[in-house]
Amino acid sequence: MTTALLNAQGLACTRGNQRLFSDINLQLGAGQWLYLQGENGAGKTSLLRILAGLTLPTEGNVLWQDSPIGKQRSQYHQDLLYIGHHAGLKEDLTLTENLRAQLAIDGIQASAAAIRDALTRMGLGKRQHLPARVLSAGQKRRGLLARALLRPAKLWILDEPFNALDVQAIAQVQNLLKTHLAQGGLLVLTSHQTPDLGQDAAGFILNLSGAR
């Protein structure tokens, strides 16, 4: 039996006078993934932000390795990679500069060669020195995901990782996610398309529509 590392208990979220969801319970262990489904406005992004410790739930708790994440923010931050739905890139900086700045916030000093290799692996080698403002939405998304190649993290929380990607790029990102799971990582994601993460990973689906 897989030991649960991420544990959510009785989560509820209210925005204004609207209850988005309630009584959400989940457990994930090494090599397991959770796919969040639901109509627009069901609270998928809100749940991801709660799990990432960026938003407090109206009710309930999130535990990491049996301890509330609010009591171990520094350690949880080290174990977590969160990539939101919006690009999150500084438009006047190049991809290389953006990635270096993001890694510095995580306390990681990556070499120029390591950053170049990560961007090349994401198909951005020829665009690494271009300002983010001239890149397509898909190229920006791949630039954000390159961070996963350089930042060790046990738990990945990804909001629409396939957004704006073409078929080839989607397959590349799915292989990246499969490798993470095969190495014992955990994954929580939303997507407008059902992810194909192979038969070896243990996946769960949580549909938030009607979870009020």
How far, rounded to the nearest angstrom, does the alpha carbon of residue 39 sit from its chain's CA centroid?
A: 19
Q: Is residue 65 part of a domain?
A: yes
10 Å CB burial of residue 112 (0-12, 13-18, 19+) is exposed
CA distance 178 to 198: 7
0.75 surpassed by pTM: yes
Q: Is residue 78 part of a domain?
A: yes
Q: Is residue 97 part of a domain?
A: no
Helix (H, G, I), strand (E, B) or coil at 29: strand
CA distance 6 to 69: 10
**How do residues 144-185 score in pLDDT, each as one tens digit?**
999 999 998 999 999 999 999 999 999 999 999 999 999 999
What range does the domain containing 184 cover?
A: 4-90+152-207
**How do residues 24-49 score in pLDDT, each as one tens digit?**
999 999 999 999 999 988 999 999 99
Q: What is the DSSP letter of 71?
A: G
Q: Is residue 102 part of a domain?
A: no
10 Å CB burial of residue 209 (0-12, 13-18, 19+) is middle
- Mean pLDDT in the chain? 92
- The total of structural domains in the chain comes to 1
* CATH number of the domain encompassing residue 51: 3.40.50.300
**How do residues 185-205 score in pLDDT, each as one tens digit?**
999 999 988 888 876 668 899
Residue with tokens 């630039």: 143
Nearest 5°: CA angle at 41, between 6 and 31? 25
Whole-number pLDDT of residue 11: 97
| Better-predicted residue by pLDDT, 1 or 206 | 206
Whole-number pLDDT of residue 210: 73
